[in-house]
Amino acid sequence: MTTHPETSPPAATDEVVELCRDLLRIDTTNTGDDATSAGERRAAEYVAEKLAEVGVESQIHEAVPGRASLVARIPGTNPDRSALLVHGHLDVVPADAAEWTVHPFSGEQRDGYLWGRGAVDMKDFDAMMLAVVRDWQRTGARPERDIVLAFTADEEAGSDRGAHFLVERHPDLFADCTEAIGEVGGFSYTINNDLRLYLIETAEKGVDWLRLTARGRPGHGSFIHDDNAVTALCEAVARVGRHRFPVVMTPTVEAFLEHAAEVLGIELDPDDPELAIAKLGPIATIIGATIRNTANPTRLAAGYKDNVIPSRASATIDCRSLPGQSELLAEQIRELIGPDIEMEYVQRQPGIETTFDGELVDAMAAALRAEDAGARPVPYMLSGGTDAKAWNRLGIRCFGFTPLRLPPDLNFSALFHGIDERVPVDGLQFGVRVLDRFLRGC
């Protein structure tokens, strides 16, 4: 194993800010439509250029023109070890500049933060990956195991044009990968000045996006009309949107809540965990969504003229199922909407869960503690989804580990897909140091 210095060389911690800024300035908005999504090819070419500058070859693969992902491999010193996949996506969700304090694609640095769409989701980690590898190439450092780097397209719309495309069309690139790290994990939750929990993602909920459709008899808007598709749809959507599914405590969530209850000195009732979750502060938003299946209406579509009753109305429901509960959730939704509403999947990817143990977890913990003596790594479940669902199809054991030490008062979860997304500069530099230690020691 390569001898590790006490801290990463200044070049990596300084360069990560520049790399992240450059990536933020590339508009990689993913609208979910190939015709209007932009910038992924440009971002992949930027990554390829930065790797080529230090002698790393890479391959760009397009699912369709412009929807580009990049893969590269850093050889390790031990050919008997399996490879580790380190992945980050290049696309971002849309941003309305009128709502932001700074332009969302400015990459502006102010008040100790780097601002821009993608700052935490997840161009910060893309920049960390690049900074560490570029520093290794300049200094001659090598990891023990091969590191496969993947910078993907389309994660924000289900990964069909990105990670799933790579899994289906280029699985050979990942044939010897047994473990992976990516978003969203390794970030701090401050208990006090001497103790911070670092949440490592070992599970994430499934994606079960549904389209509900109601059909009725069209007619003039001035008539009395008992067979109105809009009315039927709205009643069904309201039933789904107001429903609270029963609490189910998975091993990951139970483990996190036990850790949190211990350090916070609060009681945890497994039958009513919401009492404890309510005391977690801003992080309660994420944790509270992982104790049950959820279903949130997000879009409605009906009609073509104000005085015409349409024959069809549809809605999109963003459903998230706990690992192993996708079928149960479908049954629950069907019961809520009734027999007359059609239901089809827009996107369906099952939840995943692994255990919080093994040499990889030990290496994460060691790297965190080396940079923060008050670090206490704990497992948690992400309420959203990531590219891990694609890699899991290849039998790869996936973790969310994007290390960041955050200010105690920062509402981190609100930054994801939110207004004024930003990452603390010192947290970004902390992440490079931790990632460097981890990748050398895993």
Please classify residue 220 by burial: count the beta carbons closer than 10 Å to its beta carbon, then call 0-12 exposed, 13-18 middle and 19+ buried. Answer: exposed
Residue 124 known to be catalytic: no
Kindly report the length of the chain.
442
SS3 category, 11 = helix
CA dist., res. 127 & res. 115, Å (int) = 14
DSSP run (H or E) holding 345? strand 342-349
CA dist., res. 292 & res. 254, Å (int) = 12
Give residue 169's identity as a one-letter amino acid code. Answer: R
Locate 40 and state its tokens: 């992924």
CA dist., res. 321 & res. 328, Å (int) = 9
CA dist., res. 98 & res. 430, Å (int) = 32
CA dist., res. 270 & res. 124, Å (int) = 36
Catalytic residue among 121, 124, 126, 155: 155
Catalytic residue among 15, 40, 91, 146: 91
Contact 316, 302 (CB under 8 A): no
Kindly report whether the peptide bond that precedes residue 128 is cis, defined as omega within 30 degrees of 0. no
Contact 163, 390 (CB under 8 A): yes
Chain-centroid distance, C-alpha 100: 22
Question: Which residue is listed with tokens 């790869």?
Answer: 396
> Residue 163's CB: how many other CB atoms inside 10 A?
27
Residue 91 known to be catalytic: yes
Q: Which residues are catalytic?
A: 91, 155
